[in-house]
Amino acid sequence: MIAIPFYNLIVIPGVHFYFNQEYYHNLTNEEPMVGENVVFLLTRDGQDRKNLTEESFYPIGVTGEIDQIDDDGNVSIITHDCVDLLNLRIEDGNILLEMRERTEIDDVDLSQRQERFTTLRAALLEFVQKYPWGMVARTYIMHWKTLEDMAVGMGAYLSVSVEEKYELLEANKRSERLKILERFIYEFLEQQRVSEEAAEAQKESNEKRFREDALQKQISYLQKQLDELHPESGSDLDRFEKQIAESGMNEVAEKEAKKVLLRMKQEGEHGHEYGMLYDYLDFVTGLVWKKEDIVPVDLTEAREILEADHYGLSKVKERIIQQLAVMTLQKKQSGSILLFTGAPGTGKTSIGKSIAEALHRKYTRISLGGVRDEAEIRGHRRTYVGAMPGRIMEGIRRSGASNPVVVLDEIDKLSKDYAGDPSSALLEVLDPEQNNSFTDHYMNVPYDLSDVLFICTANTTDHIPEPLLNRMEIISFQGYTAIEKFEIAKRHLLPAAMKETGIRSRQLKITDETIRAIISEYTSEAGVRSLRKHLNTLCRAAAVKLVQGERKSVTVSPKRLREFLDQKPIHHDEVTAPKRPGVVNGLAWTAGGGDTLFIEALFVQGSGKTIITGKLGDVMKESVQIAVSLVKSMYPEHAEQFEKQDLHIHVPSGAVPKDGPSAGITLAAAIASLVTGKSVDSLVAMTGEISLQGRIMPVGGLPEKLMAAMRAGIQTVFIPQENEEDLRDVAPEIRQALRIIPVTEFTDQFLQKIKQ
């Protein structure tokens, strides 16, 4: 018996199969002979005969017989029965097996079979008549006499899985087999109907799209003609479409931009949302999305630029050079976010311009002073009327680059209210782990800020939230000494003021003594902002004299300063004659630099209360209580004074707010001086926080405080022992001018050192 493996056929008992002789040979490796018995074997997949194994076959086959071979070599096979396959094996490419006949139950009478066949044939004829090839198909259909013939004839067109073909062989009742065959054919008809409907819908959709494309092309052509007639009013849509294509924006941003552009097309120029959509596209296409090329950093050139633009600040410049060196090695933006802190006018903002110049990058400044709405940082959602992007993205767009140097100015002046906390929004902006996908609410798409060099500035860190402060490295800008101010005035401020007023160098001469007089008598600041204003005022006054023709050149001496500046010299707190007991010189740090603090203590008739005046803050009031308790414990013999009299402590100037713990040692010295009746040397000043045990603890702002001491004529300054390391940040001329003594405890020995 010849084994015929099959996979793509539907084989059932009682039907004819026709093969050409070559195909029969490929299936069996045998030549056909009339009367020869065959068995059809259903395979699990469509492998070639040479790759078949014993596991490749299902366990049921169909027997048959070759009943005819015509003159053209076509082989006709009629099938007989289903059989169970036993002991199937393959030897030398031949399939050997044993078979056992399966019981078949014919439970459908002839009339019922014929009725079901007729119904299905009618449905099939109705289906084919819609097609040009329907007449040919009709001839084939009319030759089929049974439902089995129909299924076998359509086998190549039916979507029947190999499992369903085996299900057909497993059915040993004729009724079950007919039901399965009907299902195959009805599923085919339904699939064809669905495919036709889908094709028709696709055709309608394509026709609509093609029509729309044709109309759009006509509109574009007509618009192009109009643009040629009026080139000054080119189509916004075409311009935006071109800018989106050339921008290099990321996939999410491009998708959103195209979506907005489509809405803009549908809205039309007279639509009520056209302006809002236009503003959005104008903003996102105005951003630089492409990565900028990395420009190697020349550290020598960077040093020269920093030195040329700013005098002094050696420690700050060195830290900036370190940052640039790290960026050079990493070949990308890296390192800490820098926070420049210091008094106004010390060069925090302007040094950002120098950094941008050294890096050959664009520069932009974003002022955060007074910002209290989170939307100012992250932008407003476009659902709101008048929505705008946040200051960060607006600054990036204004810079015209994707990697500018951005100075976030006055970051300590941020505040919060019901509209949110803007400092929280800055956390993502300044975090290198997050800002590569910063999403502004207005844009609603991510933008990469990882290449941006952010530099923050603040006068003090007291009001900066801790989470934000942790993301930054603090670099303190110390106040300028008189010598540094003189050099800055000569090198930068005076030439800039003369250029601004149009005065040439030969027309105005300001002596060195005049500049020093302005610094010492007309300014009182850590920075040089007031000095710049005075030099500008002086140049403007000189310009009036030059224009009026009073003289061809003007010379300004110290004696003529009142004439040009039109104001009196400011009053500096200076040490004077020996003071009485209870008066001590303290030192304070303010946002404008260092200042002297004269603390006065006095016993007055009363009942043992402590009176505090001078607009002191809570921390400083606590320092007063600590100082009082400490002095009481040191001098118990004077307890009666504290019980029968009121202790009045005053800190001039009374209208200026004062706070902080650094006046603790000064308060204790003033009370001790009052109690013992021993005056404190008027040429002595001190600063330090004090504890109840008399321990003197470190304070901040030491360089500015020592500068104020030198300006006031102080000769000796007592500082906490733990602040001795901070003397490295103090200018050499200040250290040379003052006798600086570190102390650790408030004791009688200390009081002996400071007495008159």
Asked if 437 is an active-site residue, the reply is no
Residue 538 within any structural domain of the chain: yes
Assign residue 498 the CATH number of its domain.
1.10.8.60
Q: What is the pLDDT of residue 626?
A: 93
Angle at 167 between CA 164 and CA 170, to 5 degrees: 160
pLDDT at 152 over 90: no
pLDDT at 331 over 80: no
Secondary structure letter of residue 630 according to DSSP: H
Residue 214 within any structural domain of the chain: no
Assign residue 454 the CATH number of its domain.
3.40.50.300
Query: Taking a C-beta distance cutoff of 8 angstroms, is the pair 414, 353 a contact?
Result: no
> 110 or 524: whose pLDDT is higher?
110
pLDDT at 695 over 90: yes
> 331 or 468: whose pLDDT is higher?
468
Do 723 and 614 reside in the same domain of the chain? yes
- Residue 233 binned pLDDT confidence (cut-offs 50, 70, 90): very low
Residue 92 within any structural domain of the chain: yes
Give the distance, in angstroms, between the CA of residue 69 and the centroid of all CA atoms in the same chain.
Answer: 80
- Residue 744 binned pLDDT confidence (cut-offs 50, 70, 90): very high
Structural domain count, the chain? 6
The residues, any chain, with a CB within 8 Å of residue 96's CB and separated by 6 or more, are 88, 89, 90
Handedness of CA 484, 486, 487, 491 (dihedral sign): positive
Do 130 and 147 reside in the same domain of the chain? yes
Do 635 and 701 reside in the same domain of the chain? yes
Place of tokens 């009746």: 677
* 481-507: average pLDDT: 86
Least confident segment among 221-230, 236-245, 285-294: 221-230
Rounded to a whole number, what is the distance in angstroms from the first to the last CA of the chain? 133
Q: What percent of the chain has pLDDT over 90?
A: 11
* 713-718: average pLDDT: 90
Q: What is the pLDDT of residue 15?
A: 87
CA distance 616 to 603: 19
CA distance 663 to 666: 5
* 110-133: average pLDDT: 83
pLDDT at 47 over 90: no
Residue 656 within any structural domain of the chain: yes
Q: What is the pLDDT of residue 135?
A: 82
Q: What is the pLDDT of residue 624?
A: 92
Q: What is the pLDDT of residue 745?
A: 92
Q: Which of 601, 603, 604, 605 is nearest to 613 (CA)?
A: 601
Residue 448 within any structural domain of the chain: yes
Give the tens place of pLDDT for each residue, 255-308. Answer: 998 898 888 888 777 778 888 888 888 898 989 998 887 777 888 888 888 888
- Residue 717 binned pLDDT confidence (cut-offs 50, 70, 90): very high
Q: Which of 447, 477, 507 is the last residue of a domain?
A: 477
pLDDT at 733 over 50: yes
Do 333 and 250 reside in the same domain of the chain? no
Residue 292 within any structural domain of the chain: no
Residue 657 within any structural domain of the chain: yes
Assign residue 97 the CATH number of its domain.
2.30.130.40
Give the tens place of pLDDT for each residue, 182-219. Answer: 888 888 888 888 887 887 888 887 778 878 778 777 77
pLDDT at 595 over 70: yes
Per DSSP bridges, beta strands 684-686 and 689-690 are: unpaired
CA distance 756 to 753: 9
> 155 or 694: whose pLDDT is higher?
694
- Residue 548 binned pLDDT confidence (cut-offs 50, 70, 90): confident
Do 473 and 489 reside in the same domain of the chain? no
Of 354, 530, 662, 679, which one is the catalytic site residue?
A: 662
> 503 or 295: whose pLDDT is higher?
503
Angle at 438 between CA 435 and CA 443, to 5 degrees: 160
Least confident segment among 259-268, 338-347, 439-448, 566-575: 566-575
Do 348 and 392 reside in the same domain of the chain? yes
Q: What is the pLDDT of residue 749?
A: 83
Do 640 and 554 reside in the same domain of the chain? no
* 697-707: average pLDDT: 86
* 319-332: average pLDDT: 80
Q: What is the pLDDT of residue 335?
A: 56
* 38-46: average pLDDT: 87
Instruction: Look up the domain containing 256 and give its range.
Output: 235-286
> 419 or 103: whose pLDDT is higher?
103
Q: Which of 452, 477, 502 is the last residue of a domain?
A: 477
The residues, any chain, with a CB within 8 Å of residue 481's CB and separated by 6 or more, are 707, 731, 733, 734
pLDDT at 413 over 90: no
Give the tens place of pLDDT for each residue, 349-377. Answer: 888 888 888 888 899 999 888 888 888 88
Assign residue 699 the CATH number of its domain.
3.30.230.10
Of 165, 362, 579, 705, which one is the catalytic site residue?
A: 705
Do 511 and 538 reside in the same domain of the chain? yes
Q: What percent of the chain has pLDDT over 70?
A: 95
Do 404 and 436 reside in the same domain of the chain? yes
Asked if 350 is an active-site residue, the reply is no
Mean pLDDT across the chain, nearest whole number? Answer: 84
pTM above 0.85, yes or no: no
Per DSSP bridges, beta strands 610-613 and 645-650 are: parallel
pLDDT at 114 over 80: yes
Do 677 and 749 reside in the same domain of the chain? yes
Query: Taking a C-beta distance cutoff of 8 angstroms, is the pair 747, 694 a contact?
Result: yes
- Residue 686 binned pLDDT confidence (cut-offs 50, 70, 90): very high
Residues across the chain: 756
* 58-63: average pLDDT: 91
Least confident segment among 562-571, 598-607, 611-620: 562-571
Do 486 and 598 reside in the same domain of the chain? no
Do 527 and 589 reside in the same domain of the chain? no
Q: Which of 530, 565, 600 is the last residue of a domain?
A: 565
Type of residue numbered 137:
A
Residue 211 within any structural domain of the chain: no
Query: Taking a C-beta distance cutoff of 8 angstroms, is the pair 280, 382 a contact?
Result: yes
CA distance 574 to 598: 10
Helical H runs in 528-595? Answer: 529-547, 561-565
pLDDT at 572 over 70: no
Place of tokens 């989470």: 467
Q: What is the pLDDT of residue 232?
A: 46
DSSP annotation string for 288-334: --SPPPPPPP-HHHHHHHHHHH-SS-HHHHHHHHHHHHHHHHHTSS-
